[in-house]
Amino acid sequence: MSDHDIRSIFVTGLRNAHAMENQALSIMKPQLLRVENYPDVLDRLEAHKRETENQITRLETVLSQLNESHSALKDVALSFTGSMAAMGHTMAGDEILKNSFANFAFENFEIAAYKSLLTVADLGGFTFAVQPLTANLAEEQAMAAWIDDHVAEITTRFATRKQAGQTAKV
Ligand SMILES: [Fe+2]
């Protein structure tokens, strides 16, 4: 494979990651407006929204280091994430659970994407990209681990609220 091929794979992957992170924001923002009764979830989502904004900046920096203008980026929504986002908007009473599952799925999608990008960076010798991509990966892994650590407890709280006849609102 030529250097040109590797570079092309890398730039495409970075652009896809940029689209992925914008999709992540569009999944998180509606949740930030709706979650009321799970303040720890709200805090973690707020923090990850800020992390995601930084991740987008890191990706734009790497693209500009490759002389690829990010202003030319046309982010295409991924169908996978689109349906996940739609799932989060359902008005069913278990919205907090469905959102948690969708967020966990999305974080794992992102983890795989950054592992792949780091591999391409290695193949192509794009050493300047390793630190920012590793930083993005670490934040996705931390968010996925947080959901993994809390989904059981969130479920218990959801069940307790339901038993107590409390509003189903998230
Ligand atoms: Fe994320």
- The full set of domains in the chain, from first to last, is 3-163 (1.20.1260.10)
Q: Describe the crossing of helices 95-124 and 3-34 by its angle, rounded to 10 degrees.
A: 160
Residue 104: predicted pLDDT = 98
The rounded Å distance from CA 156 to ligand 1 centre is 24
The rounded Å distance from CA 83 to ligand 1 centre is 17
The rounded Å distance from CA 151 to ligand 1 centre is 16
* CA-based nearest residue to 19, from 86, 69, 111, 81: 81
The rounded Å distance from CA 163 to ligand 1 centre is 32
From the first residue on, what is the mean pLDDT of each consecutive set of 10 residues in the chain (170 residues)? 92 96 96 94 98 98 89 55 52 85 98 98 98 98 98 96 80
Q: Which long-range contacts (CB under 8 A, 24 or more apart) does 89-92 make?
A: 89/30
Query: In whole angstroms, what is the distance from residue 115 CA to residue 41 CA?
Result: 26
Residue 70: predicted pLDDT = 64
The rounded Å distance from CA 110 to ligand 1 centre is 6
Residue 25: predicted pLDDT = 96
Residue 74: predicted pLDDT = 60
The rounded Å distance from CA 49 to ligand 1 centre is 8
The structure's pTM equals 0.88
The DSSP secondary-structure symbol of 164 reads T
The rounded Å distance from CA 24 to ligand 1 centre is 6
The rounded Å distance from CA 108 to ligand 1 centre is 8
* DSSP assignment string, 82-135: HHHHHHHT--STTHHHHHHHHHHHHHHHHHHHHHHHHHHHHHHT-GGGHHHHHH
The rounded Å distance from CA 59 to ligand 1 centre is 13
Residue 170: predicted pLDDT = 77
